[in-house]
Amino acid sequence: MSANSRRPASYQEEYRVPFGETDAAGVVFYPNYYRWFDRMTHELFRASGHPLDGHLKRGEAPVLVESSCCFLTSVRYDDVIVLTASVGEVTNRSIRIAHTVSRDGEVTTQGLETRVWIQLQGDESKAVPIPDSIRRSLSPQRL
């Protein structure tokens, strides 16, 4: 990597698939991938020093505006997988987070989320700039 290369902010954890997250054939039921992605995004914020509970209490949050998932191979009951969330891009008001699910070093699933930082105002919400401290901690780091 060059001196100007950047390493993405990321969070990773190992997870054993419980039976309750699979269908009758023992394959992970697809909505669970989105639950994992959401949880990993919250853990990514926590690991970067910005747990979301304080922001939510102040009426601000990164809301999901786009998501996708590509299933490359099945994940099954009792598989030990690695869930990874990596920040791909941080703009003034949005964050793109790439998700991967791996088993034994092989990527089984790829996902993508776009979240927009919003300020809640009563029943309304509006996109606002991401706080500088969050943008700095989630922006890809120089190597």
Domain boundaries, the chain: 7-136
Q: What is the pLDDT of residue 141?
A: 59
pLDDT tens digit string along 81-138? 999 999 999 999 999 999 999 999 999 999 999 999 999 888 889 999 999 999 988 8
Q: What is the pLDDT of residue 139?
A: 81
Instruction: Output the CA–CA distances (angstroms, integers) from residue 1 to 7, 50, 75, 97, 142, in the order listed.
Output: 10, 29, 33, 22, 10
Across 59-67, average pLDDT: 95
- Do 21 and 32 form a contact (C-beta atoms < 8 A)? yes
May I ask the CATH architecture of the domain 7-136? Answer: Roll (3.10)
- Whether 4 shows a pLDDT value over 90: the answer reads no
